[in-house]
């Protein structure tokens, strides 16, 4: 099937939104605790999605059972993805987080193969092993001399974030045949906001919101609007036209964009071993996708 150039333009815009999210998230975490930031991001996104969904002529889900499945899918692939990401980002560097996120296509392929959607080949397995070796090298030679070095805790939560999104990618693919991206994302964010409401209310009650600056609030709204809503709408729309593994493969651009932004805007340091490990990861992902 021929893919129109505009679709790739949308996908590159999606990648930019997600790449900038690392930087914006780091700035927001200077003012917000991670759990409150995650809860507010999902809640604001849900409130924005409701009128978008309600004004669509194709709103609605045919069966109550499918409503529940959509809600669970959204909770797993969107809410937990963003919760884990914010918690992890607060305890690691942008470079580490972005390189770990780039193994998403490998996880997508593994899950898709396990469910019979795609087939593993020797070349794909080689690429997977290379990507995992790169992650091991990233941890083995990580730079601990910075004021905020990466930690196992942070990297693990970023990996869990990537895993949850990979599950969303694979198991969300069948829903693209029946429902629009607006429907799926509305169920995801509204359901997630309801699920996180006790945590969000508790965090808001114990945290002095009056201390938050205008910059902090702008960061929250950016995270809710662009990487959450706009990027997810593009992503799910792309799934209706392109195989899941190919859509996910664009994530290997995130480390390049995000790390460059972090060096320029956050003064993060890059080490030669870290760059080499990142290149191994990206090479492994590339080989996997081409296998």
What was the pLDDT predicted at 122? 82
pLDDT > 70? residue 244 = no
What was the pLDDT predicted at 211? 92
pLDDT > 80? residue 289 = no
Domain boundaries, the chain: 5-290
pLDDT > 90? residue 157 = yes
**Rounded mean pLDDT of 246-258?**
75
Backbone dihedral angles phi then psi of residue 3, each to the nearest 5 degrees: -100, 130
What was the pLDDT predicted at 143? 63
Cβ 65 vs Cβ 20: under 8 Å: no
Burial class for 219, CB neighbours closer than 10 Å (0-12, 13-18, 19+): buried
**Rounded mean pLDDT of 158-167?**
91
What was the pLDDT predicted at 189? 87
**Rounded mean pLDDT of 96-112?**
85
What was the pLDDT predicted at 2? 55
What was the pLDDT predicted at 234? 85
pLDDT > 90? residue 39 = yes
């Amino acid at each position: 099937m021929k893919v129109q150039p505009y679709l790739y333009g949308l996908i590159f815009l999606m990648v930019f939104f997600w790449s900038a999210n690392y930087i914006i998230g780091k700035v927001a975490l200077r003012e917000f605790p991670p759990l409150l930031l995650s809860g507010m991001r999902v809640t604001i996104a849900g409130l924005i999605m409701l009128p978008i969904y309600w004004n669509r002529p194709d709103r609605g889900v045919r069966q109550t059972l499918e409503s529940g499945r959509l809600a669970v899918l959204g909770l797993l692939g969107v809410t937990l993805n963003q919760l884990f990401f914010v918690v992890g980002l607060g305890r690691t560097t942008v470079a580490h987080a972005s390189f770990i996120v780039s193994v998403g296509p490998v996880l997508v392929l593994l899950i898709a193969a396990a469910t019979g959607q795609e087939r593993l080949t020797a070349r794909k397995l080689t690429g997977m092993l290379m990507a995992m070796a790169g992650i091991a090298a990233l941890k083995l030679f990580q730079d601990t001399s910075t004021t905020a070095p990466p930690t196992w805790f942070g990297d693990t939560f970023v990996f869990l974030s990537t895993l949850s999104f990979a599950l969303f990618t694979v198991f969300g693919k069948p829903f693209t045949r029946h429902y629009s991206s607006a429907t799926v994302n509305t169920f995801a964010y509204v359901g997630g906001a309801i699920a996180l409401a006790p945590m969000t209310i508790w965090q808001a009650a114990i945290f002095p919101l009056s201390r938050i600056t205008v910059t902090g609030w702008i960061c929250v709204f950016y995270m809710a609007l662009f990487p959450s809503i706009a990027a997810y709408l593009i992503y799910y729309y792309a799934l209706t036209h392109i195989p899941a593994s190919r859509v996910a493969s664009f994530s290997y651009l995130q480390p390049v964009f995000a790390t460059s932004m972090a060096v320029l805007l956050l003064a993060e340091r890059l080490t030669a071993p870290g760059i080499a490990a990142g290149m191994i990861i990206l090479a492994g992902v590339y080989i996997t996708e081409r296998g």
